[in-house]
Structure 1
Amino acid sequence: MANRWLRLEVYPLFAAVGVAVGICGFQLVRNICFNPEVRVSKENRAAGVLENFSEGEKYAEHFLRKYVRNRAPEIMPSVNSFFTEPK
């Protein structure tokens, strides 16, 4: 029975599902722990709506967004330039 599921062809599927579950888990933990609009404890929920624009901007402008902002939207720039630039 175990030999049916542990074939060589199944490993890429396990890897893809594992990566997807990891990304979902990361986003869930990030939103619960660091999102200024999510309040888990009772004391924080009693505070109501807060005007915390600086905390919200800090959450939205994370490291990856700052890193990618001034870069060209290319996955493989060397391949793109090879096929698009004339010789």
Structure 2
Amino acid sequence: MASNRWLRPEVYPLFAAVGAAVGICGFQLIRNICINPEVRVNKENRAAGVLDNFAEGEKYSEHFVRKFARNREPEVMPSLNRFFTDPNRN
């Protein structure tokens, strides 16, 4: 029985991790195909050659997540880090 071998409860986290990875890859692929200024899918745009559209490229690279994370500390758990490293908490 292949279903008993592969559908055990121990395998569910593996399925979730692989599903999340496939979802992230699919999102990035669709994002690049649809809105990347350097990717040209139809023939008319490919015939245009190299375009110097710096404003469109900057709009693509400066997306919401990058703007949100720009002025933040590179910490996963800032409150926990402050709790253990702040000398004034004694």
The sequence identity of aligned pairs, in percent, is 79
**Residue 64, structure 1, aligned to residue 40, structure 2:** no
Partner of 1:34: 35
Partner residue, 1:25: 26
Matched, 1:11 2:6: no
Give the Cα–Cα distance (whole angstroms) in 1 for the partners of residues 56 and 73 of structure 2.
Answer: 28
Dislocated runs of 4+, deviation >2 Å = none
Residue in 1 that maps onto 2:78: 77
Distance in 1 between the 2:60 and 2:20 partners? 23
TM-score, with normalisation over the residues of structure 1?
A: 0.97
Structure 2, unaligned stretches of length 5 or more? none
Please tell me the root mean square deviation across aligned C-alpha atoms, in Å. Answer: 0.6
How far does the alpha carbon of each residue in 1:15-71 deviate from its partner, in whole angstroms, 9 at most, with x for none? 000000000000100111110000000000011111100000000000000000000
**Matched pairs, number:** 87
The secondary structure found in structure 2 opposite 1:16 is helix
